[in-house]
Amino acid sequence: MALGFPSFGNRSRCACAALALLLLGSEAQAFKIELDEDSFLTLGVLMQPHLLVNNQGPDWGSAQVYARRTRLSFGGQYKKLGFLLLIEQFDWGKNSNWKPSLAFQDAVAFIELQKDMHLDVGLFIFPMARYFLQGAGAIHTLDYFIPAIPFLENSHSVYRDMGVQFRGFFLDEAVHLRASVSNGITANAPTGANKASLPRVAGMLRYNFLGSEKGYALSAIYFSKTPLLSVGMGAEYQPNAALYATPSNPAQKADSLSLAADFFVEYPFWERHAIVAQANLFHYARGPQNPFSGTGAVLEVGWLIGKIEPILSWGYFNSMAPGHAKDVWSLRPGFNWWIDKHRFNLKAEAGWTGRRLQWNTKKEFACTVQLQVAL
C-alpha cells in the first residue's frame, strides 16, 4: 500500500490528514475536527516507552524505563493550503533526567502547486536521503542509527532545517524529486563558520521501479500487498560551514558536503510473508582533520510473517580523522510484533556496539524493549 497525499479538488479535505498520519506512521490514526466543507484540524499522538538493560552501570545489568518519544502532531487545511506542527519530548526520564528539551520538529506550511507537486515553507526534514524521511513512528528498527548521520552541530534541529522545499513526482510517479534551500550554519552560529551566511542546498532523486511512496514522511515498512522497489541518491552542501583544527590553525574552515545513496524493497510473497530491506550509504567531507568527515552505512533486513518479524540491522561509521575517534559499528538482531501495524506494536532488540577511543575499542551491549502507541 503506497500512501501519500490525495489530490485536491473533490478529495481536498484528506490532504493534511494524510500529512499528519504519515508523520506518526503510515498506519497511525489521527483525530479530525471538520470546521467546514473546505477546512479541518487534526491531532495525533505517538508514545514510545523503552525498557533498556545495558552494561554501562557500575554492575552489568543496569536497567531503566523511560519515554524515548512523547509526541503530538497538529495539522490543518484550507483548500490548497495546509500546515503541520510536530512537538516532541525526547528521552523523558532517561538517566533520571526529567528536564530534556522540548523540541518543535516539523513546523511546515505547504501549498499544492498541482497534483503530486508541493511547496513547503518552514522547518522540515532536509531532503538528502530516504533514511531521514522515515517518520519515527514508522521506522523498522527501534531507532535510527545516529552515528551514521553525524551532521554538524548548530546546522540542524533533529535533521530539520528552516527554509523552502519543493517535492514532487514525475513520469507517472516513477521519479520522485525533492530539493531545498535552507539556513544550515549561519553567521551567528557559535562555531564562527560561514560568516557570509551562504545557504545550505540539499536534494534527493529517487526512481520507483515498483510502486511509489508519497507523502511528506515515508515509512520503513508499509505492510504492502503489492511490491515496492526504489533506489535513490542525494546530496547536501554548504560552503565554509565546517571547522577543523590543524597545528597552524585551530579553526580551519572547510565546505560541508554530504552524499547519500540507498536501496529500498518491500516484497510480499506467499500469503502472509514479505521481505523488507533497505541499504543506505553516506559520505561526509568536512575537512581532512574533522572527525565528522567519513563514511557511514546502515543495513536493515526483516522477514515479515503475519504479525511477527525477525529483523537484523547493522550500522557503521568510519571517521577520516587521525585516531579514528568517532569510529562506530553496531550489530542489532531484533524481533517485532506488529499487533496493529504502526498503531500498536512491540519491538525487542539486542545490540552490540563498538566505539573507537584513542585507537582502543570499547564494546557495549544493550537489550531494549519498546512499546509503541500511535493514535
6 located within any domain:
no
The residue with cell 547536501 is: 236
Dist CA 98 CA 93 (whole Å): 5
Taking a C-beta distance cutoff of 8 angstroms, is the pair 237, 153 a contact?
no
Show the domain range for 361.
12-374
Task: Find, among 232, 226, 230, the residue nearest to 209 by Cα.
Answer: 230
CATH number of domain containing 258: 2.40.160.10
369 located within any domain:
yes
In this predicted structure, what is the pLDDT of residue 11? Answer: 43
In this predicted structure, what is the pLDDT of residue 5? Answer: 34
- Which residues of the chain fall below pLDDT 70? 1-29, 56-61, 324, 357-361
The C-alpha R_g of the chain, in whole angstroms, comes to 21
C-alpha cell recorded at residue 107: 513546523
43: which strand partners?
Answer: 31, 74
In this predicted structure, what is the pLDDT of residue 104? Answer: 84
Dist CA 375 CA 369 (whole Å): 20
In this predicted structure, what is the pLDDT of residue 3? Answer: 32
Task: Find, among 85, 76, 112, 78, the residue nearest to 24 by Cα.
Answer: 85
Q: CA angle at residue 37 from 34 to 43, to 5 degrees? A: 25
Dist CA 63 CA 66 (whole Å): 10
252: which strand partners?
Answer: 244
Taking a C-beta distance cutoff of 8 angstroms, is the pair 125, 159 a contact?
yes
Taking a C-beta distance cutoff of 8 angstroms, is the pair 238, 200 a contact?
yes
pTM of the model: 0.87
Alpha-carbon dihedral sign for residues 103, 134, 128, 106: negative
Burial class of residue 63, CB neighbours in 10 A (0-12, 13-18, 19+): exposed
Dist CA 33 CA 20 (whole Å): 13
266 located within any domain:
yes
207-212: long-range contacts at Cβ-Cβ below 8 A with a sequence spacing of 24 or more?
207/174, 207/175, 207/176, 207/231, 207/232, 208/173, 208/174, 208/175, 208/176, 211/2, 212/2, 212/4, 212/169, 212/173, 212/174, 212/176
E strand segments, the chain? 31-36, 39-54, 62-78, 81-92, 102-114, 117-125, 160-170, 175-182, 200-210, 228-244, 252-269, 273-285, 294-305, 308-319, 328-342, 344-357, 360-374
3 state SS of 21: helix
2 located within any domain:
no
C-alpha cell recorded at residue 184: 544550515
In this predicted structure, what is the pLDDT of residue 56? Answer: 62
Q: What is the chain's length?
A: 375
Number of domains in the chain: 1
149 located within any domain:
yes
3 located within any domain:
no
292 located within any domain:
yes
Dist CA 59 CA 264 (whole Å): 40
Burial class of residue 71, CB neighbours in 10 A (0-12, 13-18, 19+): buried
32 located within any domain:
yes
In this predicted structure, what is the pLDDT of residue 84? Answer: 92
Phi, psi of 148 (to 5 degrees): -80, -10
